[in-house]
Amino acid sequence: MRYTLASLVAGFVFGFGLLLSGMANPEKVLGFLDLFGAWDPSLALVMAGAIAVGVIAFAIARRRHLSFLGFEMKLPSGNNITSRLVIGSLLFGAGWGLAGFCPGPGLVALGAGELKAVVFVIAMIAGMGLFQLAERPQQSP
């Protein structure tokens, strides 16, 4: 129950932060990505703030064996840059640039009734399904 409540609160805080920062507004995001047009640098501050919070949170997490809720800490251990990582990053960036959404803000915009987010979320779910099919281990006859 504690875990569910903590997840719910964290989701609300994250969603509220995305709405407050403008990250759920695709026009604002596309304005940030338009480096050679009407560039809107305001999201750079949002990203810098998120990076600062993340750096502090990971520094604290590395020193702990249990989370604040008493669960085992499971931090990423790899730091390899693979072709899959690069290709996935390029696809993510292209999707973000085309739609103005990434997964979190897309879900928040969907909840806020943004019609464009419906198409984005459907495409995102389809992409995850295709990835699962591609990753399914090949069964030998």
Tokens 């009407």 — which residue?
38
Spatial separation of the C-alpha atoms in residues 12 and 106, rounded to whole Å = 14
Could you read off the pLDDT of 2-56 as tens digits, one per residue?
788 988 998 899 888 888 888 888 888 888 888 888 888 888 888 899 899 999 9
Could you read off the pLDDT of 61-98 as tens digits, one per residue?
999 989 888 888 888 887 889 998 899 899 888 888 88
DSSP label at residue 141: -
**With contact defined as beta carbons under 8 Å apart, do 109 and 117 qualify?**
yes
Task: Write a three-state SS string for 61-86.
Answer: HHCCCECCCCCECCCCCCCCCCHHHH
Q: What is the pTM of this model?
A: 0.71
Instruction: List the chain domain ranges.
Output: 2-135
